Amino acid sequence: MVPMAKVVSFGAINYDINLFVERFPKIGEEVPVKRITRIPGGKGANVAVAAARLMDPGEVAFIGGLGDDQIAEMQKKVLEGEGVDISGIITVRGVESGQAYIVIDSKGENFINTLFGANHEIKPEDVEEVKRLALIRQAKVLAVVDPPLPVVLKVVELGKKFGAITIWDPGIHCVKGYESLKDILKFVDILLMNAVEVENLTGASEPEEVKKRLSPINKNLKVIKKMGAEGSQLIDPRDEQSIIIRGIPLQKYGFKVVNTVGCGDAFHGVLAASLAQGYSLIESLQRANLAGAFKATRSETRGSPNKKELEEFHKKVKG
């Protein structure tokens, strides 16, 4: 089958064990678990699913590593059921598939412990295998999350070569600083981070200073700062003023925050899907904001909306 993916997501795929508690324990303290769920997760796969729910089957592909275990087979079936092209998945022999143990309190806050497993075993040459290269060549958007840094570099290089829009969420790598990541940043179109990550990466929080530090590396690099319930901020080196996309006051519209795990992944996936579908960057950010807010009202990690749910949610909150 000839690849037809418009969005390709790169990153981790994990099996999530979610423990719901009233509050987090202190060190040495035991607290009861109110409820437990076991569901597919991982940031790269979550982004792929969030994008796929807004697109036709096969228009989103996922590239990442899985072990040769039962978890891997289950993960593949779930992704296929969501309409994700799994032809780019890398099977790592003799290694466990990734797993995450997530504790969520009554306010929807969380902390996560992760066994990366096969996620950290993929290599740059894996990305250049014929099937995966074909997926990348046809893609309109590459949504890069958390593969190993050498893989990130290879992907963004290929994205630039083939003319795709590249979105990178550097996550924990922000603490390395922008100088250490400049070889990657020079190929990236959109950098997606939360407020803490922006400061960790650049040493600055004000938009003008962020632009001043990143522009010498990549004069076209746009920064999107995720601000949770407050929305998002677009820092574009070509614009004098940054643009704020306001968040959704969920309580005002009768919604309750249930679980914030996966909100950023929903944001990323819907941003990528919207850009691939031809929406402007501002329109795509508005849709991404809606998707992140919608996800916060759902307990499941992959609680991102499908097309109908996004449209209905928008009607309820656009007043």
The whole-angstrom separation of Cα 139 and Cα 132 is: 11
Is the predicted pLDDT of residue 14 greater than 70, yes or no? yes
Q: How confident is the model at residue 1 (pLDDT cuts 50, 70, 90)?
A: very low
pTM of the model: 0.91
To the nearest whole percent, how much of the chain has pLDDT over 70?
99
Give 37's pLDDT tier (boundaries 50, 70, 90). Answer: confident
If one counts every other C-beta atom within 10 angstroms of the C-beta of residue 77, the result is 12
CA distance 121 to 65: 7
Angstrom distance (rounded) from CA 175 to CA 133:
30
Mean pLDDT value across residues 156-182: 97
The one-letter amino acid at 289: N
Q: Note the pLDDT of residue 173.
A: 95
CA dist., res. 221 & res. 141, Å (int): 15
DSSP state at residue 164? -
**Which one, of 197, 187, 194, lies nearest residue 167 by Cα?**
187
Distance from C-alpha of 26 to C-alpha of 175, rounded to nearest angstrom: 27
Q: SS3 for 227? A: coil
CB neighbour list of residue 30: distance below 8 Å, 6 or more residues apart: none
Q: What's the CA gap between 144 and 138, in Å, rounded? A: 16
Beta bridge partners of 79: none
Percentage of the residues of the chain whose pLDDT score is greater than 90: 83
Write out the two tokens for 119.
Answer: 């996620």
pLDDT at 2 over 70: no
Task: Give the pLDDT mean for 66-71.
Answer: 95
Q: Write out the two tokens for 308.
A: 């109908």
Determine which of 18-22, 24-28, 145-149, 238-242 has the lowest per-residue pLDDT on average.
238-242
pLDDT(238) > 90: no
d(CA 169, CA 62): 16
Closest to 273 measured CA to CA, from 253, 265, 25: 265
Is 253's pLDDT higher than 80? yes
> Rounded distance, CA 37 to CA 20, Å?
8
Query: How far apart, in Å, are the Cα atoms of 15 and each of 48, 76, 158, 231?
Result: 15, 12, 29, 29
Helices and strands (DSSP H and E) totals, the chain? 11, 15
CA distance 183 to 250: 40
Q: Which of 305, 298, 306, 304 is nearest to 104 (CA)?
A: 298
Which secondary structure element, helix H or strand E, spans residue 267, and what is its range? Answer: helix 263-276
Distance CA 138, CA 140 (A): 7
**Mean pLDDT on 132-149:** 96
Sheet arrangement for strand 243-246: 84-85, 60-63, 7-10, 141-144, 165-168, 190-194, 222-226, 231-235, 243-246
pLDDT in tens, 145-161: 999 999 999 999 999 99
